[in-house]
Amino acid sequence: MRSKAMKFSALVGFASATVAATACPVERAHYKFTTSESTGYADFVIVPRPAWMPGSDDIAAFHLSFEPHRTSATARFDDWFIYDQGSSGIIHLLESTDRQKPSWDLWELPHEPGLLDRVRDFIAWGKDEVVTTVIPSPGSTAPVYIFLPHLTESIRTSTGMDVGRGMFKLHRCESR
């Protein structure tokens, strides 16, 4: 006879696999950072397109949040990014110019680099294990994994918070 803990573990494993196996729109996707050293979360928020950016539709911004580690005196850390992609197929991130909310209205003006200004590369892939070259947009399918190569070092350098090395994995898809 299986213990309650084993049954619960099997259920959690099944639920996690189910989230990753079903298509989830970016605006309903919630991610968890894959290391035990931190409590990191990410999601997409739909924001108005900045006036300087071509087009008129709303866009998806990437929001990340890290709670301080239990041994850290650092405060909670939040940041927002929008996407930039030239003809190369490589997706780059543009950090919000406002530390309190997602905003890129001043991006084209001279401004101080943000805390995570060095986090520029966005590498994501789905359940098919193929790296995406499509910028997440409202209504599109959320990637299962998101990797930001310079994230760990940038957070440690700018805030002193050690979040460990990891990536974001789709944790749940919010119901409508």
- 5-51, pLDDT tens digit by residue? 443 333 334 334 445 456 899 999 999 999 877 788 999 999 998 88
- 48-86, pLDDT tens digit by residue? 988 888 888 999 999 998 887 665 556 677 888 888 876
Residue spans per domain, the chain: 4-173
Report the candidate in 116, 115, 136 with the shortest Cα–Cα distance to residue 125.
136
3-state secondary structure of 17: helix
